[in-house]
Amino acid sequence: METNETKTTNATKATNTMKAIRIIDYKAGNAPSVMHAVSHLGYGASFACGPQDIAGATHIILPGVGCARATMDSLREMGMLGALEDAVLRSRTPFLGICVGMQILFEHSEEGDTKCLGWLKGRVAKFDDKAVRVPQMGWNEVRLAKSPANPALEDHFYFVNMYRALPGDPSDVWGTADYGGVFAAAARKGNIMATQFHVEKSGEAGLSLLGGFLALEGGDWRC
Q: What is the pTM of this model?
A: 0.91
Q: What is the mean pLDDT of residues 62-72?
A: 90
Confidence at residue 62, expressed as pLDDT on a 0 to 100 scale:
96
What does DSSP assign to residue 90? I
Q: What is d(CA 120, CA 187) in angstroms, rounded to the nearest whole number? A: 9
Helix (H, G, I), strand (E, B) or coil at 46: strand
Confidence grade of residue 25 (pLDDT, cut at 50, 70, 90): very high
The residues assigned a catalytic role are 99, 198, 200
Q: What is d(CA 168, CA 103) in angstroms, rounded to the nearest whole number? A: 13
Please give the mean pLDDT across all residues of the chain.
Answer: 91
Dihedral of the alpha carbons of 161, 172, 194, 215, in degrees to the nearest 10: 150
Task: Compute how many other C-beta atoms are within 10 angstroms of the C-beta atom of residue 207.
Answer: 16
Q: What is d(CA 57, CA 222) in angstroms, rounded to the nearest whole number? A: 18
- Structural domains for the chain: 4-222 (3.40.50.880)
More confident residue, 128 or 10: 128
Helices (H), the chain: 4-18, 31-40, 68-77, 80-84, 100-103, 203-214
Q: Is the pLDDT of residue 12 over 60?
A: no
Confidence grade of residue 30 (pLDDT, cut at 50, 70, 90): confident
More confident residue, 71 or 29: 71
